[in-house]
Each structure stands twice: as structure tokens, then as C-alpha cells.
Amino acid sequence: MTSQTDLAALLCSRLCHDMLSPVGALSNGLELLADETDPAMRENVVELLEQSAKISTDKLRFFRLAFGAAGGFGEAVPVEEAQEVIAALASDAKKVELNWAIQSSSLPKPAVKVMLNLAQIALEALVRGGTLDIGAELRDGNVEIVARAAAEKIAFDEVIGRALHGELSHDEITSRTAAAHMIALLAKEMGGGLQYQLADGALVLGAVIPQPEGMIG
């Protein structure tokens, strides 16, 4: 069984892997800018630096909510914050149309953590673009979440699906599957669960997360 320390290390590895490209682009761009004298080329380099800086910021905002403690928020996170983070990730992807169906103005932190990770898994399945629909609603003391990726080409590893169901062996929990494993543990600890279905050109990821007792009302 993977310990909390092992899981934290794997999530850190995932963070470092995802940040390496945009941060490396920033470093390379600064080196080019220092040596470049042509005004047009310098303008192009500055544009690349701005793009890399935006991607880095977007990813860090995502990791803060999806993996971290989301300091600065109370027990609930404004839905707009989660939407901005997911929209930023979708804008970095190619040809992804993003649709929302969320009525609540805020959601419990655990539900937001699950929603962001499901959204990222769905986005990664849209390797050639497509549509990403995200919905969440409060019903009977639970937060019900769905992320649906639809496209002609869906790339989804069944190992990720098994991770969502909490069925991975120790050797199968890697930096690539750690996020799915983490939210499976989180859902189980809260008395909820995750599910997925892949059929007819669509990947549907779902979760039921009980609301914390202090937030039910």
C-alpha cells in the first residue's frame, strides 16, 4: 500500500513534470532575449515569454486547488475560482470547447479538488480537441460532479479508470496515476465514490461527494 509520504512524492513529481516545459521555456527565452538585438526578434521572444509565464501561472493555480490545501479559502471555494482554473487549462489545449452546468456559487474544498482532477483527466483524453462539459449540483446532502469529454478521438488509459475505482496495485501507482488515486482515496474517506464510462466517443467521469456536516443547510 502506498503511504501518504509516497503519494505526496508522486504528486510532487507530477507537478515538476508539468512545470518543466513552461519554466524551461522561460529560461531559454531569457537567454535569447539577452543576446538578441533585432527589434522584431526581441518582440517575438517577449511574446513567447509572456505565453510561458501565463501557462506557468495557470498550472500553479491548478495545482494549488487540485493537489494542495487551497490556502486563502474557507471550507468552501467560489465556483468562479475553479472555473477560471479549468478554463485556463482548456485554453492551453487545442480546439477544446468548454461548457458549464453549475448552479452553486461555491463548493466544498474536497468537491472542488475532485472536480479539478476529473477535468484534467478529461482534458488529457481530448488529444485532438473536442468538447468538455462540466457539471456539479448539490442534492440530498451530496455534491454530484460530472466531467464529460466528447470527440472523434478519445485517449483514455484504463489504468486511470482503475485508479479512480481505487483498484491499483502498489506498482501501478505512479506520478501519472497518483492524482486519480488521490481523489479515489479522498472520495472514499468522505463516504463517496467515483465512476467512469467510456463509450460512443465520450468519456464520462463522475463523483458523489458528501458535503461536510457543517456545510449542509
pLDDT tens-digit map of 148-161? 999 999 999 999 99
CATH classification of the domain holding 199 = 3.30.565.10
pLDDT at site 214: 56
Query: What distance in Å separates the CA atoms of residue 81 and residue 26, rounded to the nearest whole number?
Result: 26
172: which DSSP letter?
A: G
Say yes or no to pLDDT of 122 above 90: yes
Say yes or no to pLDDT of 113 above 90: yes
Enclosing domain of residue 71: 4-215
CA nearest 204: which of 138, 127, 132?
132
Query: What distance in Å separates the CA atoms of residue 104 and residue 136, rounded to the nearest whole number?
Result: 8
pLDDT tens, residue by residue, 42-91? 898 899 899 889 888 988 999 989 988 765 677 889 999 999 999 998 88
What is the pTM (predicted TM-score) of this model?
Answer: 0.87
In sequence order, the β-bridge partners of residue 77 are: 107
**For all residues of the chain together, what is the average pLDDT?**
89
Helix axes 178-189, 4-35, angle to 10 degrees: 140
In sequence order, the β-bridge partners of residue 147 are: 134, 205
Per the structure, how many domains does the chain have? 1
Say yes or no to pLDDT of 165 above 70: yes
CA nearest 181: which of 193, 171, 195, 167?
167
Name the band, by pLDDT with cuts 50, 70 and 90, for residue 215: low
CA nearest 206: which of 121, 96, 106, 91?
121
Q: Which helix (H) or strand (E) holds 137?
A: strand 130-139
Q: What are phi and psi of 193, to 5 degrees?
A: -165, 165
Which one is predicted more confidently, 19 or 72?
19
CB count within 10 Å of CB 102 equals: 16
88: which DSSP letter?
A: H
- Residues 144-148, mean pLDDT to the nearest whole number: 97
